[in-house]
Amino acid sequence: MSDLELRGVTKAYGAAQVIKGVDLHVAQGEFCVFVGPSGCGKSTLLRMISGLEPISGGEVRIGGEVVNHLGPAERGLAMVFQSYALYPHMTVRQNLSFGLENLRAPKSEIAERVTAAAQMLQIDKFLDRRPKDLSGGQRQRVAIGRAVVREPRIFLFDEPLSNLDAELRVEMRGEISRLHRRINNTMIYVTHDQVEAMTMADKIAVLRDGRLEQFGRPLDLYNTPDNTFVAGFIGSPRMNFFKGHVRGGAVTLDAGTTVPLPAGKFQLAEGAAVTLGIRPNGMKPGNAGLPLTVASVERLGGESYLYGTAPDGTAVTVHSPGQTRIEPGTQIALALDADDAHLFSTDTTRSLLRKDA
Amino acid sequence: MIKKRKVVAAALAATFLATTAASAAVQLRFECAQDGNECDTMMAIFKKFEATHPDIQVKMDLVPYKAILENLPVDLAAGTGPDMAKITDLGGLHKYYLDLAPYVDKAALEKDFGKTLDWYRAGPNDKGIYGIQTQLTITGAFINKTLFDQAKVAVPGKDATWDDWAKAARAVAKATGTKYPMAMDRTGHRFAGMAMPYGAKYFDAKGNPEMNDPGFAAAAKQFVAWNNDGTMDRNVWAGQGGASYADATKEFINGELVFYYSGSWQIQKFAKQIGDAFDWEVMPAPCGPAGPGHCSGMPGGSGVVGFKSTKHPKEVAELLAFLAQPANYSELEAKSLNIPANATVATAGVKYEGVTPAASKALNAFSAQVPTISPVGYAFQGYKNNRAMFNITVKRLTQAIVGEMSVDEALKRMDADLKEAVAASK
Amino acid sequence: MTPFLTRTRGRQRLHWTDWLAYAYLCLGVLLMFGPVLWLVISSFKTERELQHYPPRLLPYVQKMEKVPGYSDPLPVFKVTAGPLAGQEVAQVRRIGIVSQVVRPDAPQTIVKVPIKDRKPVEHVALATSNYAKLFKRFNFFQFFYNSTFITVVATIITLLINSMAAFALSKYDFRGRGTVMALIIGTLMIPPTVVLVPLFLIVRDFGMIDTLWGVIIPGAATPTGVFLLRQYMLTIPDEILDAARMDKASEWKIYWRIILPLSAPALAVLAILSIMWRWNDFLWPLIALQRQEHFTLQLALNSFRGEFNTDWASLLAMTVLTLVPIVAVFAFLQKYIATGIASTGGK
Amino acid sequence: MLKLITPFMQIVDVPMRALQGLLGPRRLAWVFLLPNLFVFGFFTFLPVILNFFYATTGSDHILLQDRPFVGMTNFGQLMNCQSYLDPNTCQIDVFWRAVHNTLWFIVLQVGFMVVFSMITALILNRKIRARGFFRAVFFFPVLLSPVVVALVWKWILQDQGALNAVLDYLGYPTVNWLLSPTWAFAWSIFLSVWFHMGFYTLILLAGLQAIPRDVYEAAAMDAASPWRVFRKITLPLLMPTMVVVMVLALIKGVQTFDEIYAFTGGGPGSATTLVIQYIYQNGFSAAPRLFGLASAASILVAIVLVALTAVQLWITRRNANG
């Protein structure tokens, strides 16, 4: 059990810089999720931590010790791969014990740890099967089991649930969370799915284009996103963004409506180009407000979503609790809740929230 | 499992030992390829030698003839050859021979082996003794006498020409419904037996090899014509490519061939496989346009030589001299059914063992032809590039037979090929 | 044309295309097996029967009969014309075109029959002596041992060094990889036959002429083998290797615990190819080996070929004997070959 | 088996671990390559290089140091032709005959090989009884040694061979198969196809079995005719496999030597003499041994082969991209 620290970590393939300097500290026992769109460098960063990918610059410290020069085997980590990477020619038992054998653990200890891990993950019935005879979820458990038996300092997960169907994914999500609570180990988890990130993480690191966009607790990221990217990425459905300008303490949207802002919450400069962000549940169909042409309606029974466009062409999603009578094709007005609003500079995309507020 | 590993280890150790262990003080390697039992017979004689020389052990490597023809020259050039071998390219390998003269009774060998010693020599000024001719062969004609009888055609006499034989063979074949009137082995060596009666010289006045003299050309033209009009069994020459050897033994044994131009080495096989099926006989060498003096077969055969690279020249020489002793040599010829090249043995006559009357008659018929061999034949057989000349003859004549080129074109190409070969061997 | 070109196959009764397919397959069996079967049968023929025309399927020998008054058994003929027509007679001797025969029941009376009017009486008999002679004549087991040693050791070495190289070329990204690949593929096409002389001289300089190693080593690094294995290894996901690295396996351990077992089908294909090449190889052993105690079966087999004569009976018997082990190995490796080629050749 | 190799591998693991520590995993690749490169370098690559020296020297000496340098003379002789289309006008006519023969041989042989192994693979891919047996039968000849194959077929086809005996028995006129240049050539191609077909059949069969079943089911829903299914689905999906088969058959075709040499000896005349046989005969087998000429010829062949591969690679690349 150790903490992990990245200091100015970079990675370049020839001239192409893939990781552009990441600083990060994951405390001991924390469950940290790396999230970002595909190609953002999150898997590369994980492989650099694991030692499978050499580090071009900066430092990786595990338990305070610089491990840049160490190979994957010496860092004391374990990894669960996206494709599980089970050894197809070995039985489950052999898969689980392979790493321990490499560590020259005594046979009795190997057996003990394998049994324990298998029981914990409920794969003890399949120990003598080969991977090809297992279902997707069972394979996933074996892959996790292979990491568990090693009792590593840090667990690394590389999009481990992306090959499972929706139902299993939810189940395994819970399983991994329980596992974390149980062994309370440092875990780094890579995913492109923000729901996974929100539900599982102690801390989320949002990555884009080789850079760390924001690092923090899930709800902090949700409530106070640092920039439009994080704001758009965290939360589902996505936050709505409206372009506009500051006009005397309020924002005049390009769509025509003016939204007053709570005083003192944002750093406002008169006339500045800003982007107003409101989550779908920050708006209500009302009598007056932002006009919206409804294109389609999703009725989920307990709640409904309206999809439409504002007069300036901005796509808008609105959450409506309960069942709605609004039909596609009608025009409605939206009341915007200014207390729920986020404001960003259009030029820098950074949040205009006052830090001291 | 451990047991298995031990077995493997033991097997490995055994192979290493096998490569390094040599029992006797002197071991002589003898490379030999055989048609019948000649190598085995020679080994039996060498065993007698070993009995009186306990420090010497002869090991025979019985190889395919291909190895003697193709690999031995490479081995010798590379210095990885055996101590001695039975070879057929007598002139071509001269540069590798061990001169036995310092170790043996030169006079005795000269007296016994006379002419054949020249075949191993570099030229007229070379007085060395290099090899023992163990098998003297002569090319000659076999006929199926029974077919002649059935056709009621008279067998041509002693001075019959190739032309006479062709006429007679065709008549017999026609009368008896036999498939092939004549056939000749596919080699330039046998063809020389036909070319010489037509006047082929093979060497010009200066002693340089040539293949375009009128006699050779006439024989070539006649031979190609016979192949194309059905007189000759076309399968033998035209059925092959390159310089590969082919014969008509099968056709003759099956009684489908009237006249077969081959050589003395066939006797053993004919005796065994024809058995009582029909009568066969050896005829005197056919004559030709060049006149009676040129009715000659082509001599040939194989001999045993020692190589310079041997570490035991004295032992090799002694062994070969032992083999050449009339008593031993006579035994070799008697058992392997060959014509002796040793004059003493020839004069005394060889008592061939276990042969049918037909075979014994045939052997004697060939023996009687030895003195009539033309000097051209001797010279040609002793020439170091004769292999090349044989092969060129076969390759080009076949091309003329199958129609890839005219006979004239083939003759022209033969001459060019020969020049190339001579230049390369300088 | 027909469902025959697709892989859809009905569950109903045999379609006419099925009949066509079976006809083709049966023709195939005849064509593929027939010649070899004939070879096997011929190996039981006497030398004389081998030379017989027209060739006959089964090995025949002439019937011999012991007749009172004659010390040796006499050959039996059937008379086809004349007063004795249809009877079996024993021939005492033949003079020219007349044959002197006796009836077995009247061994004293000699009858003259023209040789045209008699036919040999023959029966089928296996000349097993062809085989017996082999074992008597030379040390068959020495040759068998040499062939086996060369084949087994060469195949193991070939598999080992070629799979190592293929592993390096498929799973590592290093400077010079392209060059090595190009060299290997370039020489894939040069038949060894054209470089016999330089190869001989090099092997000589290594001191390996006339040793079994001189046969084993030069052909061990086959470009075909490297190519085949590499193609297969490319299909093994890199993540498995990474997983093993996380499991603290050394690169060598990854090679033999992960890569080798996973390449088993491709290795089986290379194994059978190598076994075939080595067992049947003739030209190179003929050059590289000189002493009879180092000879392989193929060399011993060809030593029945003299300058003028070939001992066909022995040669055929020997051929059949050399065929047996390779067929056995094939039968054993058969199923691996099918799946192995499936996964290597196709990609 | 595994138990036998495990100790060996564990022993090797010790120095390999040390090397891995010393070199790092990436440079360790060279260690894996080393044994192969050693053997390959000395026994495959070096002889090819030495061949260049033979090609530029003359005489029938075997050792390089005895051979006089002749420059490009050997190449000059080989290329000395009035017309490359008519071997009779060439100085080294047999070489050019061999080149012509080889070109025809590979075109026809590869063609027949692909067609027949395709048909066989299609049939073996059907639901038939005893499929394993039939598959083994077609693969069986691959196991034989070339000399045996040639020997058996020579027996069958010679003038007094089995085929003529059968024809004779059935009352048909016999043909002297190996005496007619055309027939001998045709039978050489037949022999070669017979010998190697099983290997390619297996590759094609594997390719066929790799085609997903649902594609055929979709085609069945579209009511496509069997012929169209073959043309539009089987063939295109099998194309990558076909390319492999064709390339392998081409390479093997050019290298053909043993079986044809033992079968016809290159005859009648030079009707079935292929390039490799020409090289072997001139460089090794029979006097006069013109090593220089043979090496030069082998280099010319190698150049053509490398060019052919380059073209083939280019085509597959293009196919892969398009």
Question: Does the beta-carbon distance from B241 to D287 stay under 8 Å?
Answer: no
The tens digit of pLDDT for each residue in A163-192 reads: 888 888 999 999 999 999 998 899 999 999
Sheet holding A77-80, edge to edge: A77-80, A154-158, A186-191, A31-35, A203-208, A211-216
Pick the residue from chain D with its C-alpha nearest to B237: D268
How high is the pLDDT of residue C338?
65
- Mean of the pLDDT values across residues C314-331? 89
Interface of C with D in 275-294 (CB under 8 A): 276, 279-280, 282-283
Q: Which residues are A76's β-sheet partners? A: none
pLDDT band at C343 (very low <50, low <70, confident <90, very high): low
Instruction: Tell me the nearest-neighbour CA distance from C242 into chain A, angstroms.
Output: 7
Distances, alpha carbon B334 to alpha carbons B346, B360, B363, B372, C192, in Å: 11, 11, 11, 23, 44
Q: Which residues are C89's β-sheet partners? A: C77
How high is the pLDDT of residue B24?
54
CA dist A46 and B238 (Å) reads 75
> Is residue B368 helix, strand or coil?
helix
Distances, alpha carbon C272 to alpha carbons C165, C166, C225, C260, D282, in Å: 19, 18, 11, 16, 33
CA atoms within 13 A on the CB side of B345: 30
CATH number for domain B26-136+300-362, candidates 3.40.1690.10, 1.10.10.10, 3.40.190.10, 3.40.50.10470: 3.40.190.10
What's A88's DSSP letter? T
Q: Which residues are B84's β-sheet partners? A: B30, B306
Q: Does A4-232 carry CATH code 3.40.50.300?
A: yes
Q: Which of C96, C149, C200 has the CB atom closest to B78's CB atom? A: C200
A near B: at least 3 beta-carbon pairs less than 8 Å apart:
no
How high is the pLDDT of residue B21?
43
Lowest mean per-residue pLDDT among B364-373, D72-81, D206-215: D206-215
User: What percentage of chain D has pLDDT greater than the value 90?
Assistant: 32
Question: Does the beta-carbon distance from C286 to B64 stay under 8 Å?
Answer: yes
- Mean of the pLDDT values across residues B390-411? 93
Interface of C with D in 287-326 (CB under 8 A): 298, 302, 319, 322-323, 326
What are the residue boundaries of the structural domains of chain D, listed by start? Answer: 93-321
CA atoms within 13 A on the CB side of B124: 2
- The percent helix, strand, coil of chain C (3-state, each to 5) is 60, 10, 30
- Mean of the pLDDT values across residues B260-267? 93
Structure tokens at A39: 């190609």
> Is residue A354 helix, strand or coil?
coil
Q: Which residues are B32's β-sheet partners? A: B62
What's D288's DSSP letter? S
Identical topology for domains C60-124 and C130-344: no
Three-state SS sequence of C41-94: HHCCCCHHHHCCCCCCCCCEEECEECCCCCCCCEEEEEECCCCCCCCEEEEEEE
Q: Residue C292 pLDDT more than 70?
A: yes
Find where tokens 């190895």 sit. Answer: B67
Residue C208: CB atoms within 10 Å: 18
Residues in chain B within 8 Å Cβ distance of C206: none
Q: Residue C340 pLDDT more than 70?
A: no
Find where tokens 């539009």 sit. Answer: D232
Structure tokens at C312: 């066909």
Q: How far is CA D250 from the centre of its chain?
A: 6
> Any idea which fold C130-344 has?
MetI-like fold (1.10.3720)
How high is the pLDDT of residue C295?
93
Cis preceding-peptide flag for A237 (omega within 30 of 0): yes
Structure tokens at B246: 């082919």
The tens digit of pLDDT for each residue in A5-30 reads: 999 999 998 888 999 999 999 999 99
> Is residue A241 helix, strand or coil?
strand
Q: Residue C345 pLDDT more than 60?
A: no
Q: Residue C120 pLDDT more than 80?
A: yes
Residues in chain A within 8 Å Cβ distance of C264: 89
How high is the pLDDT of residue D319?
62
The tens digit of pLDDT for each residue in D212-236 reads: 877 887 777 777 778 888 888 888 8
How high is the pLDDT of residue A284?
87
How high is the pLDDT of residue D2?
62
Residues of chain A with pLDDT under 50: none
Question: Chain C contact for A114, CB < 8 A?
Answer: no
Residues sharing a CB contact under 8 Å with residue A52, sequence separation 6 or more, in sequence order? A72, C242, C245, C246
> Is residue D129 helix, strand or coil?
coil
Intervals of CATH 3.40.50.300 along chain A: 4-232
CA dist A292 and A309 (Å) reads 6
Instruction: Tell me the nearest-neighbour CA distance from D62 into chain C, angstroms.
Output: 8
Residues sharing a CB contact under 8 Å with residue C265, sequence separation 6 or more, in sequence order? C232, C336, C339, C340, C342, C343, C344
Looking at per-residue pLDDT, the higher value among B152 and C333 belongs to: B152
Q: Residue A6: which region, alpha, beta or left (left: phi > 0; alpha: psi -120 to 50)?
A: beta
Q: Residue B20 pLDDT more than 50?
A: no
Q: Which of C115, C291, C304 has the CB atom closest to B29's CB atom? A: C291
> Any idea which fold C60-124 has?
SH3 type barrels. (2.30.30)
List the alpha helices (DSSP H) in B294-406: 313-324, 326-336, 343-348, 357-369, 375-382, 386-402
User: What percentage of chain C has pLDDT greater than the value 70?
Assistant: 93
When scoring C195, C216, C222 by the number of chain D Cβ atoms within 10 A, the one with the most, hence best to mutate, is C195
What are the residue boundaries of the structural domains of chain C, listed by start? Answer: 3-42, 60-124, 130-344
pLDDT band at D321 (very low <50, low <70, confident <90, very high): low
A130, burial (CB in 10 Å: exposed 0-12, middle 13-18, buried 19+): middle
Question: Chain A contact for C237, CB < 8 A?
Answer: yes
Q: Residue D15 pLDDT more than 80?
A: yes
Q: Residue C10 pLDDT more than 50?
A: no
Q: Hey, what long-range contacts does D9-17 have (CB within 8 A, 24 or more apart)?
A: D9/C252, D9/C256, D12/C252, D13/C250, D13/C252, D13/C253, D16/C250, D16/C251, D16/C252, D17/C250, D17/C252
Pick the residue from chain D with its C-alpha nearest to C201: D63
* Nearest by Cα to A149 from A186, A189, A193, A98: A98
Q: How far is CA C154 from the centre of its chain?
A: 18
Q: Which residues of C20-48 are buried (b: 16+ CB within 10 A; e: fewer)?
A: ebbebbeebeeebeebbebbebbbbbbbb
Query: Under CATH, to which class is A237-345 assigned?
Result: mainly beta
Interface of C with A in 250-269 (CB under 8 A): 250, 253, 257-258, 261-262, 264
Mean per-residue pLDDT of chain C: 85
CA dist B401 and B231 (Å) reads 13
How high is the pLDDT of residue B19?
46
A near C: at least 3 beta-carbon pairs less than 8 Å apart:
yes
Residues in chain D within 8 Å Cβ distance of C56: 165
CATH number of D93-321: 1.10.3720.10
How high is the pLDDT of residue C63?
87
* Nearest by Cα to C235 from C170, C175, C168: C170
Lowest mean per-residue pLDDT among B11-25, B120-134, B253-267, B311-325: B11-25
pLDDT band at B215 (very low <50, low <70, confident <90, very high): very high
Lowest mean per-residue pLDDT among A234-243, D242-251, D257-266: D242-251
CA dist B53 and B41 (Å) reads 19
Residues sharing a CB contact under 8 Å with residue B170, sequence separation 6 or more, in sequence order? B181, B231
Q: Residue B1 pLDDT more than 60?
A: no
CATH number of B137-298+372-424: 3.40.190.10
User: What percentage of chain B has pLDDT greater than the value 70?
Assistant: 94
Residues sharing a CB contact under 8 Å with residue B25, sequence separation 6 or more, in sequence order? B55, B56
CA dist B145 and C96 (Å) reads 8
Which chains are adjacent to chain A, needing at least 3 Cβ pairs under 8 Å? Answer: C
